[in-house]
């Protein structure tokens, strides 16, 4: 099945700094990847759809200038949280696969803590 590798698994950063999270598809070409955010005891909220070679599509209410998505190759999508603040502390997770009907595979997630 499709394998998605996500790094780092945990990161602690100071308020005002930026953090980059990477998601790599190891055995398939990820034309599209999705980025989710999950606060404690809540559901997965879609932040944006990452498209290889084009601009990402952001969900309503998600600041595109704060959450920068880059999908320059078929195997790598990155999410950069810029000027991070404590309220950005969350579990960020990517997913991709061969299509919705085949069941997307999730990365292992990144727990971001902003202090």
The residues of the shown chain that bind other proteins, judged by CB under 8 A, are: 31-32, 34, 41-46, 49, 93, 95, 99-104, 106-109, 111
Residue (82 or 111) nearer to other proteins, CB: 111
Cβ-based nearer residue to other proteins, 45 or 68: 45
Q: How far is the CB of 33 from other proteins (least distance, A)?
A: 9
Q: Smallest distance from the beta carbon of 4 to other proteins, in angstroms?
A: 9
- Residue owning tokens 């696969």: 97
- Continuous H helices in 5-114: none
Minimum Å gap between C-beta 9 and other proteins is: 10
With 0-12 CB in 10 A as exposed, 13-18 as middle and 19+ as buried, what is 4?
A: buried
CA 46, CA 36: separation in Å to the nearest integer? 4
Tokens coding 94: 């990517």
């Amino acid at each position: 099945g499709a394998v998605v590798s996500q790094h780092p698994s945990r990161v602690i950063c100071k308020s005002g700094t930026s953090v980059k999270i990477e998601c790599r598809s190891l055995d398939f070409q990820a034309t599209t990847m999705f980025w989710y955010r999950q606060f404690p005891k809540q559901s997965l909220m879609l932040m944006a759809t990452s498209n290889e070679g084009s601009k990402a599509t952001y969900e309503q209410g998600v600041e595109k200038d704060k959450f920068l998505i880059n999908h320059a190759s078929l195997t790598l999508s990155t999410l950069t949280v810029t000027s991070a603040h404590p309220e950005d502390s969350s579990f960020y997770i990517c997913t991709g696969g061969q299509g919705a009907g085949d069941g997307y595979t999730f990365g292992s997630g990144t727990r971001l803590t902003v202090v």
